[in-house]
Amino acid sequence: MPDAGGSVLLEAHIAQKTYVRPDGAAMEAVRDLHLALARGEFLCLIGPSGCGKTTTLRILTGLDRAFTGTVTPDPARLSIGIAFQEPRLLPWRTVEENIRLVLPPDRRKVDLGGLIESFGLAGHRARYPAELSLGLARRVSLARALAVEPDLLVLDEPFVSLDAQAAGELRRYVALAAARQTMSVLMVTHNVREALELADRLVLLAARPTRLVEEVRLAAPRGTRTADWIEAERARLAERLPALREA
């Protein structure tokens, strides 16, 4: 839970989320999961593959409303920027056009120079998605999610399939974005090290039907977390929580 006194941006109780398989059988994905996200907080959801992390994100952001439970306020009342694992850029639009397209009509003509520059994309603004590496395309997708000046930034496995250098670079841009104190970040990952580098709080989820196993609050300021600190913290957590040993 967020600190007492920290104002809550979003609170959810997912009593149950069940999918119906093509053969008609019910498959329970989430059960009795309670989550609250404070303003300015960086929360990481960590859990085994297929446990229901993306499902949880979709419910929290209002993309999936077919569940039992509550999300308060209604996510439609928040400004939410989402960067999916697949960058989902329109191939026939340039980098700059892809970012601009998400803006509401009255902001379509704003100067995006500052945002584009701050994500190291100035030299790429006229390029097309097919000309970009996956790392660059993810960076465009992150800049696009931030262009709407969201209350909440949602990242679904943003570093997966990147080489170490591209992942490290993108992590620095995510940390830069998260430094904006008014924005909350909700990130899904199954990599404990990257969660330890970035998050204020980790929420560990169980295998399907997913529910909360444990919450871990990380007090050390983000900028002070060295590789040694991350490794020591990971080992300490893995000792206490066997499910994290392989993560």
Ligand X SMILES: Nc1ncnc2c1ncn2[C@@H]1O[C@H](COP(=O)(O)OP(=O)(O)OP(=O)(O)O)[C@@H](O)[C@H]1O
Q: Which is nearer to ligand X, 52 or 150 (CB)?
A: 52
Coil, strand or helix: which one is 32? strand
Beta bridge mates, 226: none
Q: Which of 144, 151, 165, 188 is nearest to 49 (CA)?
A: 188
195 binds ligand X (CB under 6 A): no
Look-up of token digits 């398989």? 21
| Residue 219 C-beta: closest distance to ligand X, Å | 27
* 45 φψ region: left (φ > 0), alpha (ψ -120 to 50), beta (else): beta
> Total binding residues for ligand X by CB under 6 A?
14
138 binds ligand X (CB under 6 A): no
Distances (CA, A) of 27 to 111, 193, 240, 243: 47, 31, 30, 23
55 binds ligand X (CB under 6 A): yes
19 binds ligand X (CB under 6 A): yes
Tell how far CA 247 is from the center of its chain. 17
Q: Which is nearer to ligand X, 49 or 224 (CB)?
A: 49
| Residue 139 C-beta: closest distance to ligand X, Å | 21
Q: Which is nearer to ligand X, 84 or 229 (CB)?
A: 84
Eight-state DSSP code of residue 118: H
Q: Which of 38, 46, 51, 170 contacts ligand X by CB under 6 A? A: 51
Which residues contact ligand X (rule: CB under 6 A)?
Answer: 19, 21, 27, 29, 47, 49-55, 190, 208
